[in-house]
Amino acid sequence: MPEKNKMKQYILESSNKAKKRQEHYTVFGSVDVFIKDSLPDNLELSQVLSKLQDTIRKPFIKNLDVIYVGDFEHLTSRDVSAVYESGAIYLTNDQDNNEDMLNDIVHEVAHIVEEDYGNDIYGDGAIETEFLSKRVALKRILRSHGYQTSLYDFTNLDFSPELDDFFYEDVGYVKLNKFVMGLFSSAYPATSLREYFATGFEEFYLGDRRDVTQLSPKLYNKLNNLNKVEQEYERN
């Protein structure tokens, strides 16, 4: 490589490294993003945040104050990549790529929406009924494959450590992903009603909405109605 091109390459790489050292960003005009620990070299945070702004309705994040990115003990101890707590999203810096990070943020935004629009989402019981019917069907499938399902409450809407251990350790997520086909998009939304909603929200905004319609029509209707309401709000 000619010396001039080497110098250009060096300047470009140095510039990219400097950008990655930036520790503070802003998204949606008012939400601070703080980088506590370094990000992978292949990740472009500015692109992630730009895509986030293009994807999510601003009213959905009205109660989000800050996003922290780093190596947090309360994430690693729970073996999760992100959590939403008291106006803040805590996000691991151990991300595979831009898409992986965006998925994590949008998933946590779903939990913010769930808190802010709880009555609109769950007030008529439609999503709960849809979720429980899928759980009951999953129980039948697992029982037909010889698993002892009678020890676990498949009608519990909340996250159950016992049921989650059964899914993860006894069945295994690889097998469970096959058993949930036609019921859930993956094993994870089967773990609780909240994760059922959040995973559907993530798919609605980042995936193929037709998949949500076909797999979870009641959930799709709620998400579509919320989207229309906030779309109209932004216009006025």
Contact between 185 and 199 under an 8 Å Cβ cutoff? The reply is yes
DSSP tag of 61:
G
Contact between 96 and 47 under an 8 Å Cβ cutoff? The reply is no
Taking every pair of Cα atoms in the chain, the longest distance, rounded to a whole number of angstroms, is 72
Residue at token pair 């399902």: 149
If we measure between CA atoms, which residue out of 150, 129, 127 comes closest to residue 139?
150
pTM, to two decimals: 0.86
Q: Is the dihedral of CA 45, 50, 56, 58 positive or negative?
A: positive
Q: Could you tell me which residues come within 8 angstroms of residue 156 by beta carbon, excluding any fewer than 6 positions away? A: 163
Pair (102, 135) in one structural domain = no
User: Does residue 76 fall inside a structural domain?
Assistant: yes
Pair (156, 230) in one structural domain = yes
Provide the domain limits for residue 42.
16-116
Report pLDDT digits (tens) over 176-224.
Answer: 999 999 999 999 999 999 999 999 999 999 999 999 999 999 999 999 9
Domain stops at, among 85, 116, 147: 116
Domains in the chain: how many in total?
2
pLDDT of amino acid 171: 96
User: Does residue 1 fall inside a structural domain?
Assistant: no
User: Does residue 213 fall inside a structural domain?
Assistant: yes
Domain stops at, among 116, 132, 147: 116
Q: How far from the centroid of its chain's Cα atoms is residue 55's Cα?
A: 13
Report pLDDT digits (tens) over 76-132.
Answer: 988 899 999 989 999 999 999 999 999 999 999 999 999 999 999 999 999 999 999
